Structure 1
Amino acid sequence: MKKKIKTKFKVIIGLLVVIFIISTSFVVFYYVDSFKSKQDISGLIEQIDRGETILIPSDNVEEQEKAWAEIEKRKLESYQKLYEQNNDLVGWIQIEDTTIDFPVMQKKSVKNYYLYKNFEKKYSKGGLPYVQEDCDVFTPTDNVIIHGHNLSDGSMFNALLKFKNKDFYNEHSIINFDTIEECHQYKIIAVLTVAVNTGNDKFPFYDFINASSAKEFDAYIKACKKYSRFDTGVTAEYGDKLITIATCDFSIKNGRLVIVAKRIK
């Protein structure tokens, strides 16, 4: 009897050890993968010339415009070099004074291709931000939808959760979203937390690509304002170009944090 108990005890201990090893391996893999992803993205950022050495005069408008034009020229040349490495690159998204600073990809032939792929098209838990397949950034659809992961280690689109705080929004309301052909800025008009895949989503942001009329566009903006966490005081009108950024929000079941912004430059 004692021998059987000892045998069962050894089996249980053995199983616990195996479970511990497997669990630890998953955790180690997660953080190693996350570290590599950060290193890879840092390497891409280093290849972008943002004209840090260009002096912008404070008292000469004409010279200011020339300086900004040179900065944009250098950035676009950098994007073209990255495009040569991976022609799925369609743009770059950045929000000043945050960790949001990423290439934006799109592979129209494969749904969610970059959800778990890095710039080298290899597996990565964090993937890369990507444009929804039915959107177009070059002949821009009325709405360009960008998806990206929110990881628990604070990487990828995790920093977007800070926009739940209006004070943070007030300090970071401008989004730089460049295509590889043009540089643009967007002003955030709404910050929402909504549920998806419910069977009856109250705000199916992923369906709004092009407005067939001013009425349809206005209805979308009205819904944005209705479900926004706070009033930004900013709106949009028919003819404006929008971006909608979506990432996971675990505060509700099947939650998504959705940020809608309009082009201002």
Structure 2
Amino acid sequence: MQKKLWLMIEILLGIALLVLLIWFGIRKIEDYRYIKAQNEFKNSMSIVELDSDLDEENIIPIEEVEENKELEEKLQEAAKAKVEELKAEYPSIVGIIEIPKTEILYPIVQGNDNQFYLDHDKEGNYHAFGEVFLDSRNTSSFTDKNSVVYGHNVRSAKTIFNELLQYENEDFFNNHKEIRIYTQEGLKTYEVISVFKAKPEEPYRE
């Protein structure tokens, strides 16, 4: 009886060990896929290298635009040229989003719906991180009353729009009030005046 009991215990321990090894193997595979996806995303985002005319020190502060019309025109042309350059290679690209002094500098794509780019890249390939994309109902010129730009909050990698969560911090909010959108029509500069969290079903587009 005692031998049977020990045999049963050994069998159960063996099964438990096997399950643990399988679980560990699955986790390793998932970790590998995640790291691979993260590296692919970073490489994909490297296509956005702003020209010297669009460097941070050359961007005119909002309040000084009227006094720097000549330079403003130069920046507008540089913004158009950069987006057109990217769009020539990736037709789905409609712009670039940048928040100065952060890691947020991504191309913006737009599709026929708001599902495809959740898990596909600008070349149409599956990608777990998806792309930063403009709502399919918006105009690509960013001239609507509200233009909605989506992007994943990849917390573990602290990438894409994860950094936006820092707007809950007053110091971060005060030091990052400018958002730049580069389009085929030129450079658009927005001032952050308020931040709030909304659920998908809320009428945040209105």
Same fold (TM over 0.5): yes
Cα deviation code 1:88-143 (max 9, x no counterpart): 11111101101111111111x23322111222222222211111111113272211
TM-score, normalised relative to structure 2: 0.84
Aligned to 1:186: 190
Please say which of residues 151-160 and 136-145 is displaced more in the overlay: 136-145
Q: Which residue of 2 aligns with 1:95?
A: 99
The residue number in structure 2 matching 1:37 is 41
CA distance in 1, matches of 2:199, 2:48: 33
Q: Which one-letter code corresponds to 1:119 in the other structure?
A: K
Name the CA distance, whole Å, in 1 between partners of 2:36 and 2:99.
26
What is the rounded CA distance, in whole Å, between the counterparts of 1:93 and 1:49 in structure 2?
A: 15
Bigger Rg, structure 1 or 2: 2
Report 1:1-265 matches (<5 A). 1=4, 2-42=6-46, 44-46=47-49, 48-51=50-53, 64-107=68-111, 109-138=112-141, 140-152=143-155, 153-197=157-201, 201=202, 204-206=203-205, 208=206
Separation in structure 2 between the aligned mates of residue 33 and residue 5 of structure 1, nearest angstrom: 42
How many residue pairs match? The answer is 195
- The CA distance in 2 between the partners of 1:33 and 1:177, in whole Å, is 26
Provide the rounded CA distance (Å) in 2 between the counterparts of 1:127 and 1:163.
23
In structure 2, relative to structure 1, the CA distance for the partners of 1:62 and 1:166 (3 Å cut) is: closer
Q: Percent same amino acid at aligned positions?
A: 24
**TM-score, reference length from structure 1:** 0.66
For the aligned residues, what is the CA RMSD?
2.5
Which blocks of at least 5 consecutive residues in structure 2 are unaligned? 59-64
The Cα of 1:172 is off from its aligned counterpart by: 1.1
Name structure 1 gaps, 5 residues minimum.
Answer: 209-265
Higher relative contact order (CA 8 A, sep 6+): 2
Kindly provide the amino acid, as one letter, of the partner of residue 34 in structure 1.
Q
Shift of 1:38: 1.1
CA contact (8 A) 2:141 2:183 kept: yes
Alpha-carbon contact 1:50-1:75 (below 8 Å) kept: no
CA contact 2:117–2:133 (8 Å) conserved in 1: yes
Alpha-carbon distance, 1:63 to partner: 10
Equivalent-residue separation in structure 1 for 2:30 and 2:139 (angstroms): 37
User: For residue 154 of structure 2, what is the amino acid of its counterpart?
Assistant: L
Secondary structure at 1:144's aligned position in 2? coil
Aligned mates of 1:70, 1:182 — CA distance in 2: 10
Runs of 4+ in 1 over 4 A off after TM superposition: 61-64
Deviation at 1:4, TM superposition (A): 3.3
